Amino acid sequence: MALQLRPNCEYCDKDLPPSATDARICSYECTFCAECAEQKLGNVCPNCGGGFAPRPIRPAKEWRTGVCTARQPPSDKRVHLKYSAEECAAHSARLRDIRPEER
């Protein structure tokens, strides 16, 4: 099963196309731009508490049959946080000093 490749940052709503090198995801595919993940969230996913990793780039060209953005399109459903900026900041402050692998 392919990653959803969500189209936006859940925090600031910045567009994150499949080729975005500044997209970050957690293990549940929560998606944020690098600036929000690092600056505003302190590498703490506001949804699950996990850390972030760079989201892989899905090839636009079909290098192998059936494997590309045209054959496995990214999601077009925009996702937004259900938490306020204040709630995110408090959550991040509580967990940011704990390494992601120890949360």
Token pair of 102 as six digits: 């120890």
- Sketch the domain layout of the chain as residue ranges: 1-75
Give the integer Cα–Cα distance in Å for 74 and 6.
7
List, for residues 41-59, the tens digit of each pLDDT value: 999 999 999 999 999 999 9
Q: How far, rounded to the nearest angstrom, does the alpha carbon of residue 36 sit from its chain's CA centroid?
A: 10
What's the pLDDT at 98? Answer: 97
Mean pLDDT (the chain) is 96
Given a cut of 80, is residue 25 above it in pLDDT? yes
Check pLDDT > 80 for residue 1: no
Per-residue exposure over 12-50, b if at least 16 CB sit within 10 Å of its own CB, e if not = eebebebebebbbbbeeebbbbbebbeebbbbbbbbeeb
pLDDT tens readout for residues 27-39:
999 999 999 999 9
What is the separation of C-alpha 46 from the centre of its chain, rounded to a whole number of angstroms?
A: 11
Q: Looking at domain 1-75, does it have CATH number 2.60.310? A: no
